Amino acid sequence: MPEPSVPIAEMSYEQARDELVRVVGELEQGAETLERSLQLWERGEQLARRCEEWLIDARARLDAARQSAPSAG
């Protein structure tokens, strides 16, 4: 797995998701060493948290937009 050029904290949702898919694929194939498996697992956890942060933020923005929208009625 190549070193990422973008820190996880700065990744878009799509970047984090795509790298997470790659990490999971590599884990499923079986890493060469236990150390590599642990590195992949930790990276996957970080990427999953980043995706979750994006989704939580998106939900908050949608909720805010709904609350500020005039109600039809």
Domain ranges of the chain: 8-68
Mean pLDDT of 37-42: 96
For residues 53 and 41, what is the distance between their CA atoms, to the nearest angstrom?
A: 18
* 34-43: Cβ within 8 A, 24+ apart: 40/1, 43/1, 43/19
DSSP H helices, the chain, are: 13-29, 34-68
**Taking all residues of the chain, what is their mean pLDDT, rounded to a whole number?**
91
Instruction: Kindly report, residue by residue over 47-72, the tens digit of the pLDDT.
Output: 999 999 999 999 999 999 999 987 76
pTM: predicted TM-score of the whole model, two decimal places: 0.81
Radius of gyration, CA atoms only, the chain: 17
When comparing pLDDT for 40 and 6, which is higher? 40
